[in-house]
Amino acid sequence: MLNFIINESRCTRCGTCAQDCPVRIIQQVGREIPRIQPEAESQCLQCQHCLAICPTGALSILGRNPEDSLRVTPEQLPTGEQMINLVRSRRSIRRYKDENVAPALIEKMLGALANSPTAVNRRELTFTVIGDKDRMQKIREKVLATVAEALKSGRIPGQVAYLQAAVPAYYEHQADIIFRGAPHALIISAPLDAPCPQEDISLALAYFELMAQAHGLGTVWWGMLSILLGTLPELRPLFEIPEKHRYYAMLFGVPGVRYPRCVQRDDGARVKTLRL
Ligand SMILES: Cc1cc2nc3c(=O)[nH]c(=O)nc-3n(C[C@H](O)[C@H](O)[C@H](O)COP(=O)(O)O)c2cc1C
């Protein structure tokens, strides 16, 4: 049940909701109130565009009250220039303070992350968080012990050089190649049979990275986790990644380093313009 409800005294019959529906299931006959036929309900993507676009806030769907939506005004948004500078100033952070990020902030960002786009609005992503630095330390020690054991028994192929180097680097030089000293991680996973699992995951991680860095946090994409679990799959349960899910991950925390200026890479953009 979509609970598609129009407040008839507010509806101006402008037809905007019907025009914007991506699957065209909202019908408006003449100047009548827009409706969705019961047999068409199953086609709804649940994107809530109809609720978002209604100029008078007359439309409720899925039990959502339009009054509860954040109003989209310029004051609520970064400027274009600020957004460009956020993209330019984002850095991979590989040194972190030994402190937790406030759980309320993590929760708020993950809530907002449910707004990242997913193919066909499927929204089947799972956000698995390591939300506490002590838990992260336990995981770190377990991983390093398992890697050390696997190295001894020759189970790590030579070409996985990062893993080969990780154990001596950590114990002899306090260099944390795998976890980069981060107190937290976010692993995003999606069912293998979702329409575009890898794209959905990467997009959500990219959105998370920008939100986190705008809040003064540090992040770094965690390709090392994929290398680690690809080499030693017995470690996968430690990260509670759902079965038959694809995943990718990001480390984050309060940065222990600050970059006072951006790198200079704009001239590295290879841009092609079609001239048909
Ligand atoms: C898919 C992907 C996986 C990555 N994995 C790691 C990683 O496991 N460890 C790490 O230290 N950096 C990792 N990085 C960070 C890159 O090395 C980094 O983005 C690049 O050196 C450019 O630096 P910048 O992000 O500060 O601009 C990864 C980046 C991407 C996009």
Which residues are CB-contacts of 235 (< 8 A; sequence separation ≥ 6)? Answer: 142, 143, 146, 228, 229
Q: What is the pLDDT of residue 213?
A: 98
Ligand 1: residue of 91, 95, 209, 220 to mutate (most ligand atoms within 8 A of CB) is 220
Q: Is 179 in the pocket of ligand 1 (CB under 6 A)?
A: no
Confidence of residue 255 (pLDDT cuts 50, 70, 90): very high
pLDDT per position as a tens digit, 13-52: 999 999 999 999 999 999 999 999 999 999 999 999 999 9
Over residues 240-253, the pLDDT tens digits come to 999 999 999 999 99
Distance CA 66, CA 4 (A): 12
**Ligand 1 mean position to 121 CA, how many Å?**
28
Q: Per-residue pLDDT for 158 more than 80? A: no
Q: What is the pLDDT of residue 156?
A: 85
**Distance (Å) from CA 89 to ligand 1 centroid:** 14
- For residue 238, the CA-to-ligand 1 centroid distance in Å is 23
For each of the domains in the chain, give its residue range(s) and CATH number, in order of start: 5-68 (3.30.70.20), 84-253 (3.40.109.10)
* CA distances for 208 relative to 120, 123, 187, angstroms: 20, 15, 11
pTM exceeding 0.85: yes
For the segment 225-252, the average pLDDT, to the nearest whole number, is 96
